[in-house]
């Protein structure tokens, strides 16, 4: 099958294709369970496959998740469906599926963002900044003072105007903020997540979102039998053009850090706090498992990030920031011209789900050049 055919253009098409494997998976695997998790408050449905070679759960589990950042789910869905079709179902595949590992595949965690080509959910919450929240009142550590200082730049409170004019004006403002505060300050202020401005970018919410509460309950039940868990969370956007980054938040020298180095270390792609291009997020999905599971479990949590247009240099960072801020601005404050708003929306979509054939081929090559080998290594530990 042509790998480009796995890339589909609507949420409905992706979900239909994902669900089409139910009968085949059920007939092939001794252990098979499908659940459609209904997410309250217009959160949509979250489809989950859990499967294994034996009726009794294995001791190892591989989790593949997609769509936490809505629009990024298109690529994540393509990777998941290729994995199912060519590695789980194809008896002629040269890849030997480990018999001592079960698989849990979560499709489209943020259904609203997926459907509407947004990173956020229906309440403007960036779910990958929400998974740490447990209570109504925010802990002091969730106060992003850097964001507060430059929030007028990050959250313009006026209508969007002409695309070209807005972009030129944004560049001037961006350079001014960077000169005043420093590039690292601005990066940390924005992407680390903030919990005070509901209409702002990278908003992590004030309390756990419904999907977080549903998954907390689901994981506590389903993950009990497993001693070792590899988490592969698919994302797009950040990194070198057409490149791959493997990112994690584990503290240097911790058990999770050592685990990940055993599986991914020699790929030369691991990014953590010691790396120049790394940025730390609060409320990350991959950190969630360490908070809800017992310390006896060995966790291997990794974010698999596929770079799109390249945002590691100054112009790439400016373009990415402009699109993030402008898309958010248009949703909350409108645009003087719908045509100009459409330009922003289309470029925003391309930033996370490019229609370029070179990117789509490179993304597949990267993922399937790493993931099968990583899973094999994990199964042998």
Helix segments in 86-202, DSSP class H: 111-116, 145-149, 151-154, 163-181, 183-191
- What is the reported pLDDT for 53? 94
d(CA 97, CA 261) in angstroms, rounded, equals 22
- Which residues contact residue 181 at a Cβ distance below 8 angstroms, ignoring those fewer than 6 apart? 146, 149, 150, 189
C-beta of residue 131 within 8 angstroms of C-beta of residue 285: yes
Residues 158-201 have pLDDT tens digits of 999 999 999 999 999 999 999 999 988 998 888 888 999 999 99
d(CA 360, CA 365) in angstroms, rounded, equals 9
Residue 357's CB is within 10 A of a number of other CB atoms, namely: 10
C-beta of residue 50 within 8 angstroms of C-beta of residue 103: yes
Residue 231's CB is within 10 A of a number of other CB atoms, namely: 23
pLDDT surpassing 60 at residue 280? no
Residues 24-83 have pLDDT tens digits of 999 999 999 999 999 999 999 999 999 999 999 999 999 999 999 999 999 999 999 999
Overall pTM surpassing 0.85 (yes/no): yes
C-beta of residue 300 within 8 angstroms of C-beta of residue 289: no
Name the phi and psi angles at 339, rounded to 5. -65, -40
d(CA 278, CA 184) in angstroms, rounded, equals 10
CA angle (279 as vertex; 206, 130 as ends), nearest 5: 20
Q: What is the DSSP letter of 85?
A: I
Residues 82-97 have pLDDT tens digits of 999 999 999 999 999 9
Quick one: pLDDT band at residue 277, thresholds 50, 70, 90?
Answer: very low
Show the tokens assigned to 110: 């943020």
Q: What is the DSSP letter of 83?
A: I
The CATH code belonging to domain 3-136+203-308+353-380 is 3.40.630.10
- What is the reported pLDDT for 291? 86
- Which residues contact residue 96 at a Cβ distance below 8 angstroms, ignoring those fewer than 6 apart? 376
- What is the reported pLDDT for 135? 54
Show the tokens assigned to 23: 């009968």
CA angle (64 as vertex; 84, 261 as ends), nearest 5: 120
pLDDT higher at 106 or 238? 106
- What is the reported pLDDT for 274? 46
Residue 98's CB is within 10 A of a number of other CB atoms, namely: 18
d(CA 348, CA 344) in angstroms, rounded, equals 6
The 3-state DSSP class for residue 36 equals strand
3-class SS letters over 283-350:
CCHHHHHHHHCCCCCEEEEEEEEEECCCCCCHHHHHHHHHHHHHHHHHHHHCECCHHHHHHHHHHHHH
C-beta of residue 370 within 8 angstroms of C-beta of residue 306: no
Helix segments in the chain, DSSP class H: 11-19, 22-28, 73-82, 111-116, 145-149, 151-154, 163-181, 183-191, 210-222, 255-264, 285-292, 314-333, 338-352, 357-380
User: How do the domains of the chain map onto residue ranges?
Assistant: 3-136+203-308+353-380, 145-192+315-346
């Amino acid at each position: 099958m042509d790998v480009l055919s796995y890339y589909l253009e609507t949420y409905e098409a992706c979900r239909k294709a994902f669900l089409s494997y139910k009968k085949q998976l059920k007939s092939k695997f001794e252990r098979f369970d499908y659940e459609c998790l209904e997410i309250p408050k217009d959160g949509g449905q979250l489809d989950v496959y859990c499967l294994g070679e034996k009726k009794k759960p294995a001791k190892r589990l591989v989790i593949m998740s997609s769509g936490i950042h809505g629009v990024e789910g298109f690529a994540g869905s393509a990777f998941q469906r290729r994995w199912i079709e060519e590695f789980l179902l194809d008896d002629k595949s040269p890849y030997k599926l480990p018999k001592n590992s079960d698989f849990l595949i979560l499709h489209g965690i943020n259904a609203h963002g997926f459907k509407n080509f947004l990173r956020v959910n229906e309440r403007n919450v960036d779910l990958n900044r929400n998974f740490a929240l447990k209570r109504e009142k925010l802990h002091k550590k969730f106060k992003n003072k850097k964001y507060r200082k430059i929030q007028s730049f990050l959250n313009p409170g006026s209508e969007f105007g002409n695309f070209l004019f807005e972009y030129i004006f944004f560049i001037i403002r961006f350079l001014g903020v960077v000169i005043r505060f420093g590039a690292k300050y601005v990066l940390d202020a924005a992407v680390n997540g903030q919990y005070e401005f509901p209409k702002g970018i990278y908003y992590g919410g004030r309390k756990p979102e419904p999907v977080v509460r549903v998954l907390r309950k689901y994981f506590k039940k389903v993950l009990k039998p497993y001693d070792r868990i590899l988490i592969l969370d698919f994302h797009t956007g950040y990194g070198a053009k057409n490149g791959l980054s493997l990112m994690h938040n584990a503290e240097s020298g911790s058990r999770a850090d050592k685990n990940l180095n055993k599986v991914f270390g020699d790929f030369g792609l691991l990014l953590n706090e010691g790396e120049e291009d790394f940025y730390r997020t609060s409320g990350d999905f991959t950190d969630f498992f360490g908070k809800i599971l017992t310390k006896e479990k060995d966790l291997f949590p990794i974010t698999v990030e596929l770079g799109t247009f390249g945002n590691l240099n100054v112009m790439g960072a400016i373009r990415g920031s402009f699109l993030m801020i402008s898309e958010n601005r248009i949703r909350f404050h409108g645009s003087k011209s719908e045509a100009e708003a459409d330009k922003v929306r289309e470029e925003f979509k391309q930033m996370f789900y490019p229609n370029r054939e070179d990117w789509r081929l490179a993304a597949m090559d990267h993922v399937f050049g790493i993931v099968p080998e990583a899973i094999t290594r994990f199964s042998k530990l």
